[in-house]
Amino acid sequence: MSRTLRAIAHTNGASLLYASKRHRQLMAAFRSRISRHVLNRPPSKTVQLDHTKPLCVPSGCDSFAQIGLPSDASSAQSPVQAWCTAFTKYFPLNEADREQNIALDELKLAAEPTVDQMLAQKDEDLKQIKRKMALKRRMKQVDSQAAAEYKSRT
């Protein structure tokens, strides 16, 4: 299960962290990770990749070479597919889980006009920022070209 979670986290560029309020070290690592994101603090140096111990895998600190492949993986599968296949062999879904999974797939979310409106506004803001940045780059290029022409004249 640990290696499957590592493969999924690595594929999505996510961190993976086991936490338990019974273990002080795990809670300290969890608090450090939250502080890093909320308070913009430097990242934690703690990395634990051993699948037999509680994992602490910051994003960018793992690789598929370190995760490896399951013993029965085929070469045609991606590492994530191979680990998910191995996971379902060890932890098969029962019928209730399958029915719930199908029901969630068929679930349609209600439209949220407020969220859609905010998304459209943020998209427009992003376009304006990109235009301003492009204009600044062009201005710098023009300034550097003018400076080069001035130096060549003198």
Give me the pLDDT at residue 48, please. 82
Contacts of 11 by beta carbon, 8 Å cutoff, 6+ apart: 79, 80
Exposed, middle or buried, 64 (CB in 10 Å: 0-12/13-18/19+)?
A: middle
* pTM exceeding 0.85: no
Give me the pLDDT at residue 128, please. 95
pLDDT in tens, the chain (154 residues): 888 998 899 999 888 888 888 888 888 878 888 887 788 777 667 788 887 888 888 888 888 888 888 887 776 678 888 888 888 888 887 777 666 665 655 656 677 888 889 989 999 999 999 999 999 999 999 999 988 888 888 7
pLDDT, tens digit, 9 for 90 and up, residues 130-144: 999 999 999 999 999
Give me the pLDDT at residue 76, please. 64
pLDDT, tens digit, 9 for 90 and up, residues 92-118: 877 776 666 656 556 566 778 888 899
